[in-house]
């Protein structure tokens, strides 16, 4: 299954599936903000709460992003102690991809950052125009995981040429 998704579908088809991850959740995004997601019919919670619950359930959660998130995200992060040690996080200023891998069974590859206007529950009047592919095809999933893991392990660091800008140098 390869499914083209746009705009609000990022929230409905990616974020809702993230909440059901059982073993693994890898997220790569250029921009990371304090996005909110639905809980129940009328409530909204920080996405960090979802990640916190996943970590507490033993899900491997990796977050690869390009820059430090904003103040609101950092303040919310401090409210979720399971994330302090359980969330695996790396910074790489060259990350511009937007990829979400869920349980090695589903992959999103597209334009939406992990922000309210990209994947969050903003109103249609405040959303970015986004597009992506949601796939359960092994070849897509494997390629995405290899690509993320290569960056995660620092395989590109020695030739990067941007170490002076690197806030979280993976390979010294």
Show me where the domains of the chain are located.
2-165
- Reduce the DSSP state of residue 35 to 3 states and report it: coil
pLDDT at 44 over 80: yes
Which CATH architecture fits 2-165?
A: 2-Layer Sandwich (3.30)
Asked if 128 and 117 touch (Cβ cutoff 8 Å), the reply is yes
Asked if 82 and 49 touch (Cβ cutoff 8 Å), the reply is no
Which pLDDT does position 127 carry in this prediction? 84
Query: pLDDT digit string (tens) for 27-39?
Result: 999 998 888 888 7
Residue 84 to residue 155: CA distance in whole angstroms: 26
What pTM did the predictor assign? 0.91
Residue 54 to residue 23: CA distance in whole angstroms: 9
pLDDT at 162 over 90: no
Which pLDDT does position 106 carry in this prediction? 97
């Amino acid at each position: 299954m390869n499914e083209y998704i746009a705009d609000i579908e990022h929230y409905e088809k990616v974020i809702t599936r993230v909440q059901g991850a059982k073993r693994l959740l890898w997220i790569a995004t250029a921009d990371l903000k304090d996005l909110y997601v639905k809980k129940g019919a009328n409530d909204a919670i920080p996405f960090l709460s979802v990640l916190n619950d996943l970590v507490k359930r033993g899900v491997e959660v990796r977050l690869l992003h390009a820059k430090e998130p904003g103040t609101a995200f950092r303040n919310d992060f401090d409210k979720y102690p399971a994330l302090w040690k359980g969330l695996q996080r790396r910074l790489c200023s060259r990350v511009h991809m937007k990829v979400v891998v869920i349980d090695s069974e589903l992959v999103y590859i597209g334009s939406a950052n992990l922000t309210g206007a990209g994947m969050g529950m903003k109103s249609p009047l405040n959303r970015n125009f986004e597009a992506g592919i949601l796939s359960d095809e092994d070849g897509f999933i494997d390629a995405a995981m290899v690509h993320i893991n290569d960056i995660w392990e620092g395989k590109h660091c020695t030739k990067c040429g941007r170490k002076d800008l690197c806030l979280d140098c993976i390979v010294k």
